[in-house]
């Protein structure tokens, strides 16, 4: 005599076509505070304080990403300006911004993006499409995506 299963009917796992696709583009910020290369560092500092942000992308006239400027970049300038007795308004963003900018694909899965954040120690990644800045994803955006999943099976969203 065979062994009977007392588990009852099992719910079928979602297929990959039905799985919830959590893409970076669905959680990225698109209304960004951006900076221009010719702006002064003082203007950047004022914007960082006014908008309560820690940095932002630097774009040219064609909305192409050319760098990132952060609080740290501004602090370096502040420290050097005091040392050399040079006011903040004598330095511009282009001289202080990070030019080697790592971007992220808007079609990337948010869980892969979370790993990228962990491995890179960055707080935000810009998203570029067709050479133009279209958005930015932050660690907080990834956490918001994770909160929307409560009650769901994590594996059903990541199998592909």
Q: How far is it, in rounded angstroms, from Cα 112 to Cα 122?
A: 14
pLDDT, position 13: 52
Q: Which of 133, 121, 137 is nearest to 26 (CA)?
A: 137
On whether the CB atoms of residues 72 and 44 are closer than 8 A, the answer is no
24-149: CATH number: 3.10.580.10
Is 75's pLDDT higher than 80?
yes
Model confidence at 80, in pLDDT bands (50, 70, 90)? confident
pLDDT 10s digits, 116-159: 999 998 889 999 999 999 999 999 999 999 888 775 655 555 54
Selected residue with higher pLDDT from 87 and 128: 128
Distances in Å between the Cα of 29 and the Cα atoms of 38, 67, 120 are 24, 17, 20
pTM of the model: 0.76
Which helix (H) or strand (E) is 129 found in, with range? strand 124-129
């Amino acid at each position: 005599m065979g062994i009977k299963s007392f588990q009852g009917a099992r719910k079928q796992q979602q297929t990959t076509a039905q799985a919830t696709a959590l893409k970076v583009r669905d959680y990225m910020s698109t209304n960004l505070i951006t900076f221009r290369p010719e702006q002064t560092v003082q203007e950047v500092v004022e914007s960082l304080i006014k908008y309560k942000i820690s940095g932002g992308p630097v774009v040219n006239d064609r909305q192409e990403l050319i760098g990132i400027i952060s609080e740290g970049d501004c602090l370096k300038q502040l420290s050097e300006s005091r040392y050399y007795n040079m006011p903040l308004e004598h330095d511009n963003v282009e001289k202080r911004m990070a030019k080697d900018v790592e971007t992220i694909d808007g079609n990337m899965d948010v869980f892969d993006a979370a790993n990228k954040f962990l491995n890179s120690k960055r707080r935000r990644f810009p998203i570029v499409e067709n050479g133009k800045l279209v958005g930015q994803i932050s660690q907080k955006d990834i956490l918001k995506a994770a909160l929307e999943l409560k009650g769901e099976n994590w594996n059903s969203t990541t199998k592909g």
